[in-house]
């Protein structure tokens, strides 16, 4: 099966960098029935940056507002899912390099059951070029 590459909406928020803050934000979204396609969090400038990739951006924004999360403007990233194999991520990055796209960040993981997933971010000016290079769908 070929990789499925989707152009996705993502949002970022910041929180205090202390135990329980991520759980609090994720729990509030869970309580509102929000499904996340991906989530990543990491320390940044003395705080924690939380990146949310929701299945339904409108529902996510409503739930985030109710939870008191201050979100960035909606941005675009990419979600990649496919059969796990040696070099899966190397193939993606090679295609992007060939298209002249510089990847800002990428997280990839074996998902079990012979599958893998990745999320990647590029500069806004490179979104269309990335979508074309990877054959992304909306």
Is the predicted pLDDT of residue 1 greater than 80, yes or no?
no
The percent of residues in the chain predicted with pLDDT above 90, rounded, is 96
Per-residue pLDDT, 38: 95
- Residues 31-61 have pLDDT tens digits of 999 999 999 999 999 999 999 999 999 999 9
- The tens digit of pLDDT for each residue in 62-85 reads 999 999 999 999 999 999 999 999
Alpha carbons 108 and 45: distance in angstroms, whole number = 24
- Domain 9-73: give its CATH architecture: 2-Layer Sandwich (3.30)
CB 5 within 8 A of CB 137: yes
3-state DSSP assignment of residue 121 = strand
The domain defined by 76-134 carries CATH number 3.30.70.260: yes
Quick one: 122 exposed, middle or buried, by C-beta within 10 A (0-12, 13-18, 19+)?
buried
Rounded to an integer, the average pLDDT of 13-37 is 95
CB 117 within 8 A of CB 80: yes
Q: What residue ranges of the chain are covered by domains with CATH 3.30.70.260?
A: 76-134
pLDDT at 16 over 80: yes
Average pLDDT over residues 111-120: 95
**Stretch (H or E) spanning 31:** helix 21-31
Longest dimension (CA), the chain: 43
Domain with CATH 3.30.2130.10 in the chain: 9-73
């Amino acid at each position: 099966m070929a990789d499925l590459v989707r152009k996705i909406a993502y949002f970022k928020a910041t929180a205090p960098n202390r135990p329980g803050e991520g759980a609090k934000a994720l729990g509030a979204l869970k309580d509102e029935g929000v499904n996340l396609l991906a989530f990543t969090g990491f320390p940044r400038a003395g705080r924690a940056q939380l990146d949310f990739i929701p299945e339904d951006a409108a529902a996510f924004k409503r739930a985030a507002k109710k939870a008191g999360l201050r979100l960035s403007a909606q941005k675009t990233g990419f979600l990649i899912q496919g059969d796990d194999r040696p070099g899966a991520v190397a193939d993606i990055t090679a295609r992007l390099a060939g298209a002249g796209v510089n990847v800002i960040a990428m997280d990839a993981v074996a998902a079990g059951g012979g599958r893998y997933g990745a999320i990647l971010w590029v500069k806004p000016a490179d979104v269309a070029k990335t979508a074309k290079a990877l054959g992304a769908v909306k």
